[in-house]
Amino acid sequence: MTQGFDDKGNSIPLTVIKAGPCTVIQKKAKDKDGYEALQLGLVEEKAVKKPKKAAQGHFKKSESPVTKVLREFHYGGQGEVKEGDQFFVDIFKAGEKVHVTGTSKGKGFAGVVKRHHFRGGGASHGSMFHRAPGSIGASSYPSRVVRGLRMGGHMGYDRVTVRNLTVFETDKENNLLVVKGAIPGPNGGYVLIHKA
């Protein structure tokens, strides 16, 4: 993350995303595959060290190097796109809205106070109830813990979508997309960017 400034001199929190280039590896067709989609591969500076033979054959048709990240996007047939075509960051324009999907940072095992914002009990005078969850269900009926009850457990490392982020600027030479606000995941993590 970084910051930028608007016309009035106000500081704006920004996130810089290295976006692309993305190559069309495969074009899924309704008659052959049952649905229409584009399979895109993110071309990175570091190539895959020892690609498998099956992957080499899959990438041969599009004449692109084997990529680490492959994702499918719904394609409604707008415009003529073929295998080997590339999408650059200039498909996004400054001022338009995007949705960014990524995997949030993992926090490990967390208790109910941190994970679900429980208040906890009194801290003094022999309380003996500080950060515990309290009752988790009745005894006679239903005689079990109901599904979805908030408890301690694995926190974070979930698929998260941040919606309606505004594009601040794009840099096609360096494949950089700058959006206002924060996006999910750690530095160097992979995200999907959709037009809103």
Statement to judge: residues 176 and 81 lie in one domain:
yes
Q: Which residues lie across from 4 on neighbouring strands?
A: 12
Range(s) of the domain holding residue 115: 106-152
Do 20 and 63 sit in the same domain of this protein? Answer: yes
Q: Rounded to whole angstroms, how far apart are CA atoms 60 and 72?
A: 18
Give the number of other Cβ atoms within 10 Å of residue 4's Cβ. 14
Taken in order 104, 110, 115, 117, is the CA torsion positive or negative?
Answer: negative
Is the pTM higher than 0.75? The answer reads: yes
Give Dmax (Cα) for the chain: 73
User: pLDDT tens digit string along 77-136?
Assistant: 666 888 888 889 999 999 999 999 999 999 999 999 999 999 999 999 999 999 999 999
* Co-location of 137 and 180 in the same domain: no
Q: The CATH number of the domain where 48 resides is what? A: 3.30.160.810
Q: Considering its fold, how many domains does the chain have in total? A: 2
Q: Which alpha helices (DSSP H) does 4-157 contain, by range?
A: 30-33, 53-60, 112-116
Q: Is residue 49 part of a domain?
A: yes
147 within a domain of the structure (yes/no): yes
Residues 33 and 87 in one domain: yes
130 and 85 share one domain: no
Instruction: Say if residue 156's pLDDT is above 90.
Output: yes
